[in-house]
Structure 1
Amino acid sequence: MCGPAGSGKSTYARGLEARGYVRVSFDGEAWALGHRTHPIGDDARQVVNGTLQDKLVDCVKQGKGVVVDSSFWSRASRDEFRRLCAPLGVVPVVYYLDTRRSILLDRLAQRENSGPDDIAVSRERAIAYIDGFETPTPEEGPLRIVHVTSPM
């Protein structure tokens, strides 16, 4: 999964999970470690990414389909997971949730910090996330674009 905060990644990933994929979630792992605000620090981010990578590799080795529920906001972060998958014979497909800015901001404004998929994000931080997001391109590898045009 790939998209800015509020794009609907977790909802979409849960749909894939219902179809048999194992969902591993950055926000879920961070929440389990006690992190209730974003962004988390660099050390914590490395721990969470390491956990996601370990779970991904374990699932792939067991022959399970996996959906990684994370923003993958930069090409570098997506490339890191591609490099991890290459020796396993897996070419990841990026599902990019292309969500209108107004929807993103509305969704994030409604968050209440009630759980890992509801982390409160200030408007200022939300705008920084949106503006800093590096949209994936087909040159990176397999890409599926999901156009999100209405609130969930």
Structure 2
Amino acid sequence: MVEVVLMCGPAGSGKSTVAHRLEAAGYARVSFDDHAWRLGHRRHPLTPEQSAEIATEVRASLLALVGEGSDVVVDTSCWSRRSRDEYRVLLAPLGIVPVTWYVETPRDEVLRRVAARGNAGPHDLALEPEVVARFLDGFEVPTPAEGPLLVVDGTGGDAPA
């Protein structure tokens, strides 16, 4: 059975680091930030239209990969329950129940990491402090009531894989 992991956490939490570990273990990785960077987006937040375009690409890539029988890690924030539910609805007809990996990282660590970014690539995107604060304040932490959930230590302590 194909496995899909939904990375979940705000910018700077360590999602991409964990996703890259899963990729090294054999998962295909689909990344919102990679798609955005490839399209030339160097500043966030994106417009709703830009975000929708990229989300469509990410979902199409995900469906193509699972259709090929690949295990996939979706490297995006999945910041709201609605966004996570959209992936669940997308995958349900295929009999796939994704596992949400929530990368739990203290706020001060997230702020420190993002402040150190240099805008050198899709996972080093510089963000204004007020943008990071809005992302953190609007983030909806997943719960087991949503479905399979694994909480990962974003400080690097117990990251699986």
TM-score, reference length from structure 2:
0.91
**Alignment partner of 1:141 out of 122, 135, 147:** 147
Q: Does 1:6 align with 2:12?
A: yes
Q: How many aligned residue pairs are there?
A: 151
Shift of 1:149: 3.1
- 1:1-152 matches, within 5 Å, as 1-149=7-155
The code of the aligned residue for 1:139 comes to A
Q: Which runs of structure 1 show a deviation greater than 3 angstroms over 4 or more consecutive aligned residues?
A: none
Shift of 1:122: 1.0
CA distance in 1, matches of 2:92, 2:76: 19
Shift of 1:150: 5.7
TM-score, reference length from structure 1:
0.97
Shift of 1:60: 0.8
Residue identity over aligned pairs, in percent, reads 53
Which consecutive residues of structure 1, in runs of 5 or more, have no partner in the other structure? none
Which consecutive residues of structure 2, in runs of 5 or more, have no partner in the other structure? 1-6
